[in-house]
Homo-oligomer: A and B are copies of this chain.
Amino acid sequence: MSNDQLKVPKGFILAGVAAGIARKKGKLDVGMIYTSQPGVAAAMFTTNQVKAAPVLLSQRHIAKGKVQAVVVNSGNANACTGKAGINVAWESAKLAAAGLQVKPEQVIVASTGVIGVPLPFDKLKLGINKAIESINRPTANGQRLTNFSQSIMTTDTIPKIVSVSFNIGGKKAMITGVAKGSGMIHPNMATMLVFIMSDAAVEKDFLNEALKKSVNQTFNMLTIDGDTSTNDMVMVLASGQAGNKTITTQSQESKIFSQNLLQVCRELTRMIARDGEGATKLVEVVVNRARNFAAAKQVAMSIAKSSLVKTAIFGNDPNWGRIIAAIGYSGENIDPERVDIALVSGKRKIQMCRNGVDPGFSEAQAKQLLHGNELKLLINLKQGPASATVYTCDFTHGYIDINASYRT
């Protein structure tokens, strides 16, 4: 597989326009995805019991069948907005449907931004109409993808796009994913919105299963701040226009599609972690030799959520005591006297703890390693065969700045 930046799979037209919903003047804040024919769709939504209006609507629409359009806005989450919020979500689906000549129940709606403030429908309406105009106007696909990726950003500092192409049954197919972070992010699905497009022809059951498997290894292994949002959604939409024979769970080609989907999800996960609010470093916490996957994940998550570990990493402090403390309170049964902890940056590795104690490593060298912006913490529990990787970032002044003044 190869990584093709800024490429859009066959059958998709994208748009991103400015509608004045976001506070920053001129910021693109309404995005649209349109497929020339209804596509096969699968999605996973936030597990927060407080679900935004667009999540409630889109869950119903995804369950019903095919999808031909997506409307998404940033700047306002349309969450905790009561019946009025539900109306806004539904009216925006209807409006997009009418303009694009598709069925309203084949429109997915997503929102991200501040919670508890009514989403002004007049502005969203303006945005949807501008997006429809943009869909109908000739524009380079690369530009469309850039616009769309920008339209869903809130506190993200960079757009997040990953594209791969691959051969499937003799045809060239593609998967392109666009994501937004970057705070209120914790499994399962936070303020995170992820839209994945493919031109491969796939059967719905297979797509559901493939998405679930990929998300469980990637977006559900991501934590920025431990807060799970009301609006999260990861959606994959397949236009089927690559010309391949429809992939089912039984197809030989299912594996290659799944691998490429996983690759896109993993790269987007890493991009979200690296661009976590205020982050200066991507941190991958790898737990090996745990009893089972759940145990490995729980230990990795405990480390990745620890404010003390994350501030130490920000401060280039090889304070492995905080890491073993987080392992100890993870809730998993571990043997402190068997725990190994290593720090990895690029090809360099420093063993900071072996069998629960300091083997005598060089703090100066470890501090130097910590200056890298892609770090791995390798944990060996010596209890069983299972591994898990959790993606996170360091915890910095930037996070406090962003979140002490996000609205005001």
A residues sitting closer than 8 Å to B (CB atoms) are 47-51, 77, 79-82, 114-117, 183-184, 186, 225-230, 305-308, 311-312, 314-317, 319-322, 324-329, 333-334, 336, 353, 356-358, 367, 395-397, 399-400, 403-408
Contacts and interface: CB of A to CB of B under 8 A. Distances in A.
Contact of A336 (B80, B308, B314, B334): B80
A49 B336 contact: yes
Contact of A312 (B48, B334, B404): B404
16 contacts: A50-B324, A51-B336, A80-B353, A80-B357, A82-B356, A82-B357, A116-B353, A184-B322, A227-B329, A307-B399, A312-B404, A315-B408, A317-B405, A317-B407, A396-B404, A397-B400
A225 B307 contact: yes
A315 B228 CA distance: 21
B324 A184 contact: no
A353 B226 CA distance: 23
A225 B311 CA distance: 11
B319 A407 contact: yes
Nearest first, the 10 closest Cβ-Cβ pairs linking A and B are A115-B321, A315-B404, A50-B328, A311-B403, A116-B321, A228-B329, A48-B328, A49-B328, A82-B357, A225-B307
Contact of A356 (B80, B226, B322): B80
A390 to B, nearest CB: 16
Contacts of A79: 321, 325
Contacts of A228: 325, 328-329
Given A50-B329, A226-B306, A317-B406, 4 more contacts: A49-B328, A49-B333, A226-B226, A226-B307
B227 A404 contact: no
Contact of A400 (B116, B306, B395, B407): B395
A308 B50 contact: no
B336 A50 contact: yes
A404 to B, nearest CB: 3
A382 to B, nearest CB: 15
Given A306-B227, A400-B395, A408-B317, A329 B48 contact: yes
Contact of A317 (B47, B50, B328, B404): B404
Contacts of A353: 80, 116
A14 B354 CA distance: 39
Contacts of A183: 308
A397 to B, nearest CB: 5
A230 B328 contact: yes
A82 B358 CA distance: 9
